Amino acid sequence: MASGTFDYLIIGNSAGGVGCIEGIRRQDKKGRIAVVSDEPHHVYSRPLITHLLDGHLSGNSMDFRPRDFYRKTRVDFFPGFRAASLDADGREVHAVPVAGGPGKVLRFKKLLIATGARPFMPLMEGLGLEGITPMITLDQSLRVREDLGQVRKAVVLGAGLIGTKTAQALAGRLEEVTLVELGDRILAPVTDPVSSGMAMEAFRKGNVEIILNNTVTAAGGDSRGRIAEVTLKDGTSIPCQLLVLAAGVRPKAELAAGAGVRIADVKTGGGIDVNTRMETNRKGIYACGDCAHAWDFVTGGMRLLPLWPNAYIGGRVAGLNMTGSEYRHTWVTNMNSVDFFGLPMVSAGFVLKPEEPGFEEIVREDEGAYAKVILKDDIIRGLIMAGNVQRAGLYLGLMRSEVRTTPFRDQLLRDEFSAADLGPEGREEIMRPIMEMES
Ligand SMILES: Cc1cc2nc3c(=O)[nH]c(=O)nc-3n(C[C@H](O)[C@H](O)[C@H](O)COP(=O)(O)OP(=O)(O)OC[C@H]3O[C@@H](n4cnc5c(N)ncnc54)[C@H](O)[C@@H]3O)c2cc1C
């Protein structure tokens, strides 16, 4: 079995892994870095994979970094290798090739676990049929794209970010797309009832049927073993040749758990427990991204935040700390910016006003546009904008810097409101660079 010894070992080649490499190289130009990844690909932008389906993107245009990234950052990259076990005391990882063959022992001084998340698989009959797939990897998207010739009608289960993006991409290609959601609105984590209603209208205009308060309980197949229909909880049957499962993701934390790394209570998400330096309870072992918890500066607690910027910055902060610097990952929250069928939407922090005392909201509704800020003690703790997102950056800056809006609070959602209303101190606050805020 081949082996190697590295100053830094990273498991997972995505946002978290790249952030870590760039954090390390900012401080340590020479240390040996290795990345092990069970996917065979160069690093790609996972949030873009559904654009392979609508034809807006192809192959290399999804690269998150140029093809010479590993060479330029002097990283030993092991694509197609799965980290099968971790010995936290012995400081080594056993990696096995996904395609079979001899494995490797990778020894490390510092380790980052950035293993991401796996799709939640709902309990339903007929799961093994052809044409049923999650949508979280490049390969899954490529397989669906190859298969589209045999598909006229598709059902997407789950109306979070992954499900809605998939439904939008398929709508331009197929005769019928149905989005089935267990809750009473789509995009629930990033919308309130008004903005969700606007999104639903956009989807319906875009030829996507939406069914709420329902779920898929069974899939039936044809004589070739391919999906031919789904049955919903209320007994409705929908013919389809493709079912995309997008009912949420769960942190991939078992490698860490098996090595005695502390895992957070399943009630709070079950991700890898880290501090704000992104270090676990095992010294020198760090975690970030979808597999780990992160400090949400709005809710004031550690939680799962399965979002691309959280993974990248968490990895970068981990990398900086792995070199001996002192950085903290403390400004992230639930932040999203999306566009569905020409309806731009931005949200951050609380999307519903908490019931606790002290919270208030300011709302503005215009023809085709909606804006809401949630304040506590005049500090912005939540934001939703739909239809017109022009000043979103300004509100996010105020929110992140926790600027008290008292002097200009009543102007916040007015058309004339601009950075000029903040005064010199407020402007300086929101211009502070992100990395400075992490230190
Ligand atoms: C379709 C889609 C749309 C999305 N849209 C958005 C969006 O609009 N905005 C947003 O902020 N976020 C979005 N996300 C979420 C975002 O992609 C994730 O939050 C982000 O990719 C997390 O990065 P990560 O580095 O933690 O892990 P991941 O990107 O999940 O990467 C982890 C990598 O580790 C590998 N791995 C796992 N276990 C092992 C092992 N044992 N050995 C070796 N390798 C292993 C995995 O195969 C994977 O390649 C979207 C995700 C999807 C799927």
- Residue 143 token pair: 């397989």
Tell me whether residue 57 is in a domain: no
CB neighbour burial string for 43-64, b if at least 16 within 10 angstroms, e if fewer: bbbbebbbbbbbeebeeeebeb
Q: Does 268 lie in the same domain as 232?
A: no
Q: Does 128 lie in the same domain as 242?
A: yes
Tell me whether residue 328 is in a domain: no
- Measured CA to CA, the distance from residue 50 to residue 131 in angstroms comes to 16
Q: Which tops the pLDDT comparison, 415 or 229?
A: 229
For the chain, what percent of residues have pLDDT higher than 90?
A: 88
| pLDDT band at 422; cut points 50, 70, 90 | confident
- Measured CA to CA, the distance from residue 348 to residue 393 in angstroms comes to 11
Residue type, 247: A
Tell me whether residue 230 is in a domain: yes
Centroid of ligand 1 to alpha carbon of 403 (angstroms): 32
Across the chain, mean pLDDT equals: 94
pLDDT > 90? residue 268: no
- Measured CA to CA, the distance from residue 144 to residue 133 in angstroms comes to 8
- Measured CA to CA, the distance from residue 423 to residue 358 in angstroms comes to 26
Centroid of ligand 1 to alpha carbon of 183 (angstroms): 24
pLDDT > 90? residue 235: yes
pLDDT > 70? residue 314: yes
Tell me whether residue 331 is in a domain: no
Q: Does 88 lie in the same domain as 189?
A: no
Please tell me the residue having the least CA distance from ligand 1 atom 27.
Answer: 116
Q: Does 243 lie in the same domain as 197?
A: yes
Q: Is 405 in the pocket of ligand 1 (CB under 6 A)?
A: no
Residues spanned by the domain of 206: 121-247
Q: Does 113 lie in the same domain as 131?
A: no
pLDDT > 80? residue 2: no
| pLDDT band at 270; cut points 50, 70, 90 | very high
pLDDT > 80? residue 438: no
pLDDT > 80? residue 435: no
- Region 242-265: mean pLDDT is 96
- Give the residue from 196, 229, 247 where a domain finishes: 247
Tell me whether residue 334 is in a domain: no
Q: What is the number of domains present in the chain?
A: 3
- Region 212-228: mean pLDDT is 97
Give me the pLDDT at residue 428, please: 72
Q: Does 169 lie in the same domain as 316?
A: no
| CATH at residue 35 | 3.50.50.60
Ligand 1 nearest atom to the CA of residue 290, by list position: 26
Q: Does 200 lie in the same domain as 313?
A: no
Centroid of ligand 1 to alpha carbon of 116 (angstroms): 5
Give me the pLDDT at residue 399, please: 93
Residues 6+ positions from 396 with CB-CB distance below 8 Å: 335, 346, 348, 383
Q: Does 125 lie in the same domain as 240?
A: yes
Ligand 1 nearest atom to the CA of residue 249, by list position: 53
- Region 298-306: mean pLDDT is 94
Return the best residue to mutate from 308, 332, 333 for the ligand 1 pocket (most ligand atoms within 8 A of CB): 308
- Region 202-228: mean pLDDT is 97
* pTM of the complete model: 0.95
Give me the pLDDT at residue 437, please: 45
Ligand 1 nearest atom to the CA of residue 36, by list position: 43
Q: Is 19 in the pocket of ligand 1 (CB under 6 A)?
A: no
- Give the residue from 288, 322, 356 where a domain finishes: 322
Q: Is 321 in the pocket of ligand 1 (CB under 6 A)?
A: no
Please tell me the residue having the least CA distance from ligand 1 atom 3.
Answer: 47
Centroid of ligand 1 to alpha carbon of 291 (angstroms): 9
Q: Does 223 lie in the same domain as 370?
A: no
Tell me whether residue 167 is in a domain: yes
Return the best residue to mutate from 106, 112, 307 for the ligand 1 pocket (most ligand atoms within 8 A of CB): 307
Residues 6+ positions from 405 with CB-CB distance below 8 Å: 375, 378, 379, 380, 398, 412
Give me the pLDDT at residue 432, please: 62
For the chain, what percent of residues have pLDDT higher than 70?
A: 97
- Give the residue from 222, 247, 272 where a domain finishes: 247
Give me the pLDDT at residue 281, please: 97
Return the best residue to mutate from 13, 115, 144 for the ligand 1 pocket (most ligand atoms within 8 A of CB): 115
Tell me whether residue 339 is in a domain: no
Tell me whether residue 329 is in a domain: no
Give me the pLDDT at residue 439, please: 47
- Region 391-398: mean pLDDT is 92
Give me the pLDDT at residue 239, please: 98
Backbone phi and psi for residue 253, each to the nearest 5 degrees, phi listed first: -120, 5
Q: Does 108 lie in the same domain as 152?
A: no
pLDDT > 70? residue 317: yes
Q: Does 218 lie in the same domain as 101?
A: no
Show the DSSP H helices in 323-403 as ranges.
Answer: 392-400
Please tell me the residue having the least CA distance from ligand 1 atom 5.
Answer: 47
pLDDT > 60? residue 263: yes
Give me the pLDDT at residue 418, please: 85
| CATH at residue 419 | 3.30.390
Q: Does 142 lie in the same domain as 166?
A: yes
pLDDT > 80? residue 90: yes
| pLDDT band at 434; cut points 50, 70, 90 | low
